[in-house]
Amino acid sequence: MTDVQKKNRTVLDTIWRPEPRSLVTSCRTIFRDILSLYMNRPELSPFILNTDEKTEYKTALKDLPEWRHLSELHLVEHRTVSSRLPRTRRNPLFPVNYLDREIRKNSAAHCRETVRGDREVGMTMARMVITLGYHTFRKPYRIDNRVARAETKTHADMVGLLAAKEARIAFERLYTKRHVWTHQVQQAEWMEEIWLRRKKNPPVVCFRTGVVPEKGQPGNGWVARHLVV
């Protein structure tokens, strides 16, 4: 961080801090969902999880009994890769690095040195889901403005995400059916946190004075009733 960023961080830390082990908790939720998908495979082949060297990842994995059990069976392995390695296609973290580039390129709030940062965590997470959904199911896998193609395959088509009949029906009803939380077949923990606005917003702070102004503060916990039941 720059000197200015360090000073701003010091001011913010005196007013608000995230919950202890919040990053570990979030990682544990994600890893649990990944393992759930893995264990639902018809056949369990060896699975390698590549991450950078952040220690919270190891802590989160050790907290999961599913990971410990699969590790004892030598079915899963956690490999760490330095985040300072060149971001080439040979880098084991290339899928994450590519997605990070796409988010920074296509989302104004995540551009470097942006002045359009998000205020509300719940809305930020909802927009991120929409961004990832568009990239997966709508954006062409290859974009070539020199050639006109009648049928352009998306990223989802390339990996067969819509191969199953149930998946195709759900995708076709995405814009024509009223979706409410209590009617969702799959209710993953990360989906619930976004849909029901579980995350609390940090306050907006004036870094020049260190004061939290009364006006312009983000709300907490608001969710449209018709999206819940």
Q: What digits encode the pLDDT tens for the residues 9-51?
A: 898 899 888 889 999 999 999 999 999 989 988 899 999 999 9
Q: Please check the confidence at residue 229 and state whether its pLDDT lies above 60.
A: no
Q: How far apart are CA 169 and CA 115, in angstroms?
A: 40
In a domain, 129, yes or no: yes
Range of the domain at 138: 118-177
In a domain, 223, yes or no: no
Residue scoring higher pLDDT (219 or 192):
192
DSSP state of 48: E
Confidence of residue 116 (pLDDT cuts 50, 70, 90): confident
Overall pTM > 0.85: no
Helix (H) or strand (E) holding 56: helix 55-62
In a domain, 22, yes or no: no
In a domain, 150, yes or no: yes
What mean pLDDT do residues 183-209 have? Answer: 87
Cα distances (Å, whole numbers) of residue 61 to 49, 52, 79, 143, 188: 10, 14, 12, 38, 18
Maximal CA-CA distance, the chain: 59
Answer whether 70's CB lies under 8 Å from 78's CB: no
Number of domains in the chain: 1
In a domain, 122, yes or no: yes
What mean pLDDT do residues 70-76 have? Answer: 96
Confidence of residue 220 (pLDDT cuts 50, 70, 90): confident
In a domain, 189, yes or no: no
What mean pLDDT do residues 64-75 have? Answer: 96
How far separated are the first and last CA of the chain, in Å rounded? 44
In a domain, 170, yes or no: yes
Confidence of residue 224 (pLDDT cuts 50, 70, 90): low
Q: Please check the confidence at residue 141 and state whether its pLDDT lies above 60.
A: yes
In a domain, 152, yes or no: yes
